[in-house]
């Protein structure tokens, strides 16, 4: 696990950018505090310099070696890599057997660049893991970068007149962005509008004009004088089919998960696991214990009734015979940590679960370097309650179009809050307009009041319509899963996991988000994900894991580190929130008077506006840090000495 920063020069003068890149790299120190490497790559004729590679390393595999940036093939290639390749042992053997590949290290990074040497861009299809990497081919003067299939590891890029910059986090690119990016004028207001609806900033853009993200399962190529080309190399294909023998399917699910967990435990440093009250993390721990009986686990909770998962997690740990380290947090912890959390995020994500995840990662980092976690199970196996909606609306949707139009007209004149209004509205609305993810914060009418520059042409369908267009023939439940893979999962869930763990130099691995696991999950029919006569979600997964997890967990509803923001924003955190609204400097973009009205109503108990308030609060903190620059997040930015390595060939100076 690491942080990378690379620059490719349009005019062979990369060396003049070296010091500035080395300085910018330090804001990624948390991603890799063990080693730092900065290298300048000479042009083939030796008359100029084509690139600068800068790297922060968190040493996980082949700790004593595998330094980065890493060269290969007598200096023809240079690699900087963030992530883990879990099948690197098998790939090393395959490349040696089939191509005679030789290796100078025992790590997984060299396997990537060796595969690229022999197979070109097709090498990425062989990789089983989480990754973002960049390779420079000195001979062809060509850059190639790629991101893993589901977007577990981030990769941002910026194109300027000087060349192309790539980085693990956006903050490392801000010093190189044009001056137009500064101030409110640099804020992408279309993506701000999306954020206020979805609670995250959807890929590929960011909240800063000009800085974009390579999407999940995408790769980038660039050569001097050319354009940045981004294309998709991986696309998940759901293909639900009848299961004549459900028990055989459950066996396949359990077997592929067990194998994924086994491979995800490959490391030369201590590995632990997060443990909540749900089946996903509990299953990961139960399977991991088979390979590492002394695995340590970590959980988090509060002294607020109905929100803490600690008691259930402790019982599960006891049942499984593993050690557990609980952490409790309160409102003061949340208020103190929010600026640090937002700085780590780069772009705002208004998921309150970021806060407990930040603290449980901090606790875990005191004991281990790697943790396993349960992200991805819901998207792969149908775990969200809202996925049942197509089943509940089937009666309305089966009515003739004329009847549906009439019911839709009736719903529009029904007063807000009247029972049945929402049911009729949603039942007579096509799924492409009805479903856009798990979080639905501000409506268009509310955004029209909140946004200073509201644009009615910007709609959430801008984000989801291209995704729906790829899967028109799937059933609605599976369409929802597919949409979540390209929106909610990579925009919220995985950003949360990556940034909150990396804030503490902790690597999070997610065994559910594995290509082999998906190949099995993709075949599950709707009736075995969400049985019509049951309230269960991810039914097939639960049946598969019934022999693995404690009985009390098999059918337990998902909580996922819930946060008592509703309670605290009406009490201990209310004055703090009001102060942020008053001092953030975001008033030119948002009507913060409206936000303060929501806070007043929430405080008095008139309505629960906690999600809306939190969404605006997170943006205000982001604005104060990255735009107004009036708030110091208080993040320690320890510097490290540059790693010294021998010069490789004539390409590096």
Annotated binding-site positions for ATP:
300, 373-374
The CA–CA distances, whole Å, from 606 to 418, 578, 594, 597, 609 equal 17, 17, 15, 11, 9
Residues 411, 415, 418, 421, Cα dihedral to 10°? 20
Q: Which residues are paired to 2 by β-bridges?
A: 57
Residue 219 catalytic? no
Residue 649 region by backbone torsions, left for phi larger than 0, else alpha for psi between -120 and 50, else beta: left
Beta 70-72 vs 229-232: how paired, if at all?
unpaired
Burial class (CB in 10 A: 0-12, 13-18, 19+), 535: exposed
Spatial separation of the C-alpha atoms in residues 492 and 499, rounded to whole Å: 11
Separation of CA 627 from chain center:
23
Which of 2, 27, 219, 620 is the catalytic position?
2
Known binding residues for L-glutamine are 108
Spatial separation of the C-alpha atoms in residues 567 and 569, rounded to whole Å: 6
Spatial separation of the C-alpha atoms in residues 577 and 614, rounded to whole Å: 9
DSSP character at residue 546: T
Sign of CA dihedral 524, 286, 217, 389: positive
Spatial separation of the C-alpha atoms in residues 325 and 170, rounded to whole Å: 33
DSSP letter string over 419-482? TTHHHHHHHTS-HHHH---S-----HHHHHHHBTT--TT--THHHHHHHHTT-TTS-HHHHHHH
- The catalytic residues are 2
């Amino acid at each position: 696990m690491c942080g990378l920063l690379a620059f490719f020069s349009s005019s062979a003068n990369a060396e003049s950018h070296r010091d500035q890149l080395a300085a910018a790299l330090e804001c990624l120190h948390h991603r890799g505090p063990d080693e730092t490497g900065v290298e300048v790559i000479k042009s083939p004729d030796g008359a100029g310099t084509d690139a600068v590679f800068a790297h922060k390393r968190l040493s996980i595999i082949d700790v004593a070696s595998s330094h980065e940036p890493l060269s290969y093939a007598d200096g023809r290639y240079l690699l900087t890599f963030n992530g883990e390749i879990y099948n690197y042992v098998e790939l090393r053997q395959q490349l040696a057997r089939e191509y005679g590949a030789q290796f100078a290290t025992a790590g997984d990074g060299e396997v990537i660049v060796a595969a690229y040497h022999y197979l070109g861009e097709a090498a990425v299809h062989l990789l089983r893991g989480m990754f973002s990497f960049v390779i420079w081919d000195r001979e062809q003067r060509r850059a190639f970068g790629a991101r893993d299939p589901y977007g577990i590891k981030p990769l941002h890029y910026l194109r300027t007149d000087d060349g192309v910059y790539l980085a693990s986090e956006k903050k490392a690119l801000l010093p190189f962005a044009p001056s137009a990016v500064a101030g409110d004028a640099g804020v992408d207001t279309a993506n701000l509008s999306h954020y206020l609806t979805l609670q995250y900033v959807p890929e590929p853009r960011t909240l800063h004009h000009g800085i974009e993200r390579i999407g999940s399962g995408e790769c980038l190529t660039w050569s001097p004088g050319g354009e940045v080309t981004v294309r998709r190399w991986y696309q998940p294909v759901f293909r639900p089919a009848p299961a004549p023998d459900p028990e055989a399917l459950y066996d396949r699910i359990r077997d592929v998960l067990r194998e994924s967990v086994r491979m995800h435990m490959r490391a030369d440093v201590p590995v632990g696991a997060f443990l909540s009250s749900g089946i996903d993390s509990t299953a990961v721990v139960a399977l991991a214990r088979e390979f590492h009986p002394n695995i340590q686990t970590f959980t988090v909770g509060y002294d607020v009734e109905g929100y803490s998962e600690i008691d259930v997690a402790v019982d599960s740990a006891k049942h499984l015979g593993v050690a557990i380290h609980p952490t409790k947090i309160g409102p003061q912890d949340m208020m103190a940590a929010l600026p640090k959390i937002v700085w780590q995020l780069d772009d705002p994500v208004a998921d309150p679960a970021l806060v407990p995840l930040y603290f449980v990662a901090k606790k875990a980092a005191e004991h281990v370097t790697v943790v396993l976690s349960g992200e991805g199970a819901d998207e792969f196996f149908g775990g969200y309650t809202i996925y049942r909606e197509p089943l509940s609306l089937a009666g309305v949707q089966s009515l003739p179009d004329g009847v549906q139009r009439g019911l839709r007209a009736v719903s529009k004149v029904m007063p807000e809050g009247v029972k049945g209004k929402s049911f009729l509205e949603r039942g007579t609305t096509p799924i492409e307009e009805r479903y856009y993810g798990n979080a639905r914060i501000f409506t268009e009418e509310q955004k029209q009041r909140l946004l200073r520059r509201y644009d009615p042409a910007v709609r959430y369908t801008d984000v989801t319509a291209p995704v729906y267009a790829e899967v028109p023939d799937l059933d609605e439940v599976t369409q929802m899963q597919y949409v979540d893979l390209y929106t909610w999962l990579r925009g919220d869930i995985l950003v949360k996991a990556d940034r909150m763990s990396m804030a503490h130099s902790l690597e999070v691995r997610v065994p559910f988000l594995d290509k082999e696991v998906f190949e099995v999950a993709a075949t599950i029919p709707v009736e075995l994900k969400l049985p019509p006569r049951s309230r269960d979600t991810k039914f097939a997964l639960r049946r598969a894991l019934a022999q693995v997890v404690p009985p009390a967990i098999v059918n337990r509803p998902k909580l996922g580190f819930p946060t008592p923001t509703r309670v605290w924003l009406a009490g201990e955190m209310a004055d703090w929130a009001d102060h942020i609204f008053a001092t953030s400097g975001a008033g030119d973009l948002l009507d913060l008077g409206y936000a303060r009205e929501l806070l007043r109503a929430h405080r008095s108990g008139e309505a629960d506006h906690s999600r809306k308030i939190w969404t605006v609060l997170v943006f205000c903190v982001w604005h104060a840090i990255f735009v107004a620059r009036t708030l110091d997040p208080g993040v320690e930015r320890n510097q490290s000495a540059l790693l010294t390595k021998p010069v490789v060939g004539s390409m590096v100076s």
